[in-house]
């Protein structure tokens, strides 16, 4: 799940300024939460095929999280009714799993979180069901590469804007656009903590990064324009022009030795 530019972060109960710093013990819990959510998303994607309903993918993710002794991080948060956000094609984020059946060639994003010892992880992956097109593969490659560039910039002494700019600098020259109304975020006991991590902006601006911060970095890349629209369900965010959208996310710890990706098995 991702932070909204305005209201929902304020609803998380955190002060408006200042990122929380995690101890090495906190990071162990977050690493376990990250491992489990990566496992859960992998298990769900192993079942991704034509004809499967998004609710079934969500059930697989929930069972995998519970099997590992963790709790789903999104279920019930702000009233969200499922374990994973599942967003297809022009859907960007916050798609609600249900009866929708996956079709061959669909661009499917699973965004999921797990809680261990009260600490959250947040992780998103986009894949194509069945055989893909070169157009979709390219969009996936560029989005994933931009996430990797953002992670590399997540170092003590850098600023939030250095992450934002690393992502933007990789995406915009490809004639893609980055979503602006939804952003990455700090993460810890709350899913959404300060600071916000926009996927665009100038270098050298924003909060200075320090060892002990943990950030959810999550480029949302549109094949068309950057504008978004929310569906009548009050959750699903789609591209205004109907173009495809792709989303990857990792939970990343900032350490003196550089960034450590926590959402890996
Ligand atoms: Mg997420
Ligand atoms: Mg997020």
Domains, the chain, in order of start with CATH, read 22-261 (3.90.230.10)
Determine the pLDDT at residue 261: 98
What spacing in Å lies between the alpha carbon of 112 and ligand 1's midpoint?
6
109/135 Cα distance (integer angstroms): 16
Summarize pLDDT for 142-187 with one digit per residue, the tens: 999 999 999 999 999 999 999 999 999 999 999 999 999 999 999 9
Of 83, 111, 114, 113, the residue nearest 98 (C-alpha) = 83
Ligand closest to CA 125: 1
Work out the mean pLDDT of the chain and round it to a whole number. 94
Contact yes or no for 129/105 (Cβ under 8 A): yes
Determine the pLDDT at residue 17: 53
What spacing in Å lies between the alpha carbon of 216 and ligand 2's midpoint?
5
What spacing in Å lies between the alpha carbon of 12 and ligand 2's midpoint?
13
169/149 Cα distance (integer angstroms): 9
The residue to which tokens 């320090």 are assigned: 210
196/114 Cα distance (integer angstroms): 20
Summarize pLDDT for 122-149 with one digit per residue, the tens: 999 999 999 889 999 999 999 999 999 9
Token output for 57: 């993918």
Burial bucket for residue 45 (CB in 10 Å: 0-12, 13-18, 19+): middle
Ligand closest to CA 124: 1
What spacing in Å lies between the alpha carbon of 130 and ligand 1's midpoint?
24
What spacing in Å lies between the alpha carbon of 151 and ligand 2's midpoint?
14
pLDDT at 7 over 50: no
What spacing in Å lies between the alpha carbon of 49 and ligand 2's midpoint?
25
User: Cα(first)–Cα(last) distance of the chain, in Å?
Assistant: 19
Question: Half-sphere exposure of 215 toward its Cβ, with a 13 Å CA cutoff?
Answer: 36
Mean pLDDT of 108-131: 97
Query: Alpha-carbon torsion 91, 245, 128, 184, what sign?
Result: negative
Question: Half-sphere exposure of 140 toward its Cβ, with a 13 Å CA cutoff?
Answer: 17
CA angle (209, 2, 34) in 5-degree steps: 70
What spacing in Å lies between the alpha carbon of 8 and ligand 2's midpoint?
12
What spacing in Å lies between the alpha carbon of 169 and ligand 2's midpoint?
21
State CA 126 to chain mean position distance: 10
Summarize pLDDT for 8-22 with one digit per residue, the tens: 333 333 333 579 999
Helices (H), the chain: 7-10, 24-46, 54-67, 134-152, 160-171
Determine the pLDDT at residue 18: 74
Ligand closest to CA 197: 2
Summarize pLDDT for 177-236 with one digit per residue, the tens: 999 999 999 999 999 999 999 999 999 999 999 999 999 999 999 999 999 999 999 999
27/187 Cα distance (integer angstroms): 11
What spacing in Å lies between the alpha carbon of 175 and ligand 2's midpoint?
24
What spacing in Å lies between the alpha carbon of 182 and ligand 2's midpoint?
9
189/42 Cα distance (integer angstroms): 24
């Amino acid at each position: 799940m991702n932070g909204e530019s305005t209201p929902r972060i304020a609803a998380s109960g955190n002060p408006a300024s200042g990122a929380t710093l995690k101890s090495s013990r906190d990071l162990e819990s977050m690493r376990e939460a990250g491992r489990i959510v990566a496992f859960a998303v992998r298990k769900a994607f192993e079942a991704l095929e034509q004809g499967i309903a998004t609710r079934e993918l969500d059930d697989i993710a929930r069972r995998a999280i519970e099997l590992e002794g963790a709790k789903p991080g999104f279920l019930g948060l702000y009233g969200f009714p499922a374990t994973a956000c599942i967003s297809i094609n022009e859907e960007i984020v916050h798609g609600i799993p249900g009866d929708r059946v996956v079709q061959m060639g669909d661009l499917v994003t699973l965004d999921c979180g797990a809680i261990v010892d009260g600490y959250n992880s947040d992780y998103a992956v986009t894949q194509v069901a069945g055989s893909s097109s070169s157009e979709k593969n390219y969009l996936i490659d560029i989005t994933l590469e931009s996430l990797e560039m953002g992670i590399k910039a997540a170092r003590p002494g850098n600023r939030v804007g250095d992450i934002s700019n690393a992502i933007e600098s990789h995406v915009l020259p490809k004639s893609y656009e980055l979503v602006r109304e939804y952003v990455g975020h700090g993460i810890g006991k709350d899913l959404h903590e300060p600071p916000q991590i926009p996927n665009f902006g100038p270098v050298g601006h924003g909060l200075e990064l320090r060892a002990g911060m943990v950030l959810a970095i999550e480029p949302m890349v549109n094949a068309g324009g950057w504008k978004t629209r929310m569906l009548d369900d009050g959750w699903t965010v789609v591209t205004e022009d109907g173009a495809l959208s792709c989303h990857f996310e990792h939970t990343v710890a900032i350490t003196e030795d550089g960034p450590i990706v926590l959402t890996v098995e």
